[in-house]
Amino acid sequence: MLNLPPRISSRLNSSQFANLHTFLVAARHLSFARAAQELCLTASAVNHRISRLEAALDMKLFQRLTRQVCLTDEGERIFEILQHAMGELSEALEQSSQADIAGSLAIYVRPSIAQCWLVPRLAEFVERYPLVALDLRVGNDNVDFRTRKIDLALYYANGEFPGLVSQRLMRERMAPVCSPEYARRHRLQENPQNLKHCTLLHDSLAWDHAAFDAEWTLWAEQHNLLAALPERSLTFDRSDLSVTAAMNHVGIAIGRQQLVQKRVDSGELVLPLADFSRSGHYDYYLVHPPLGTVPKRLQVFMNWLRECARQSAPQDEHEDGA
């Protein structure tokens, strides 16, 4: 349900629903120009609609910078409410005609998110939509939708996908992880500077065009520990492999919360230096080429992914509206 406060909902008349839809598209792209292309409007018309919506809601939804726009905290909150409401509406409409949902879907996913997050959840989707045949493919490259028959990609990225339709599925947070034995051996919880005596485990392909040590560098800069990073390291081309090495006492890896939380809860991994936190602007995105009409089987799969994402979101993320 679209649970807006009474002071806001009372200001939404029928003319504002077109502006809400414009806001939803612009927020998904984080670009008035791309939203204008999708809506067959001019960028100035998109800006005008959103300005009228901001005036009606009495809140600023976007920060308009020189060459880009970004959501304000209020804009982020309204965007996620709208996404949730539209997802529930789409699912309700699709369920009424589930007999029409059939066919194959080719899904392209980064290996680590496939292994640690998506595949363990697939039994529920298969039971709910038995006539949809999923063809799951994994890889570290960005797929070329023009040459490969892929319906949907799931990426860990910064949200920039020129010429494609994208929407953030869920946020990610990160923290160094290692085995309890490794943390004790190096006394990491007593003195974070002991990190300099450890072996760093890297995912060298964390995101598109990332340096091999990008995740560690990003985390260390935010925690003022760049000087403590050791030179000793092992490099993998998958996050889950670096984490598996950490579980087996090889060293310390950057763990992405969506992928390692169960291991932390079970005690196989510990957070010896800091709790999970936002680092940069890298999240999980659903990406597909522009479509005149989204096939029902693809729509229900994306709705199901959003449902899974809401269920797996950390509790404090629910509480602060992140």
Same structural domain for residues 109 and 160? yes
Q: Are residues 74 and 54 in the same domain?
A: yes
Whole-Å CA distances, 61 to 24, 46, 57, 71: 11, 13, 9, 6
With CA atoms as reference, report the closest residue to 77 among 250, 317, 264: 317
Spatial strand order in the sheet of 174-177: 174-177, 252-256, 200-203, 233-236
Q: Does 77 share its domain with 111?
A: no
pLDDT of 322: 35
pLDDT of residue 18: 86
Full domain range(s) for residue 186: 174-266
pTM above 0.85, yes or no: no
Same domain, 158 and 294: yes
Shared domain check, 316 and 225: no
pLDDT of residue 3: 54
In the block, which residue shows the tokens 């901001």? 54
Contact 143, 108 (CB under 8 A): yes
Helix, strand, coil in percent for the chain, rounding step 5: 50, 20, 35
Whether 262 maps to a domain, the answer reads: yes
Q: Are residues 215 and 228 in the same domain?
A: yes
For residue 273, being part of any structural domain is answered with no
Q: Quick one: pLDDT at residue 156?
A: 94
User: What's the CATH code of the domain at 203?
Assistant: 3.40.190.10
Give CA torsion, residues 225, 231, 237, 239, to 10 deg. -30
Q: Which ranges of the chain would DSSP assign to H, the alpha helix?
A: 6-9, 14-29, 32-39, 43-57, 73-95, 111-113, 122-128, 180-186, 214-222, 239-247, 257-266, 296-312, 315-320
Q: What is the mean pLDDT of each successive set of 10 residues along the chain, which is 322 residues long?
A: 50 75 91 90 91 91 89 91 81 61 93 96 94 94 88 93 93 96 94 94 91 94 91 95 97 96 96 90 93 90 95 62 36
Cα distances (angstroms) measured from residue 85 to each of 2, 91, 208, 220, 310: 6, 10, 31, 38, 12
Q: How much is the pLDDT for 321?
A: 38
Pair 61, 80 in one domain? yes
Q: Which of 77, 96, 115 is the C-terminal boundary of a domain?
A: 96
Asked, for residue 274, whether it belongs to a domain, the answer is no
Cα 5 to the chain's mean position, in Å? 27
| Residues whose CB is less than 8 angstroms from the CB of residue 81 and which lie 6 or more positions away in sequence, other chains included | 2, 3, 4
| Residues paired with 167 in a beta bridge | 286
- Dihedral over Cα of 144, 146, 148, 153: its sign: positive
At 30, list the tokens: 């984080």
For 179: left if phi > 0, alpha if psi spans -120 to 50, otherwise beta; the answer is: beta
Question: Which of 13, 37, 22 has the alpha carbon at shortest distance from 290?
Answer: 37
**Structural domain count of the chain:** 3
Does residue 232 share a domain with residue 185? yes
**236 is a domain residue:** yes
Residue type, 101: I
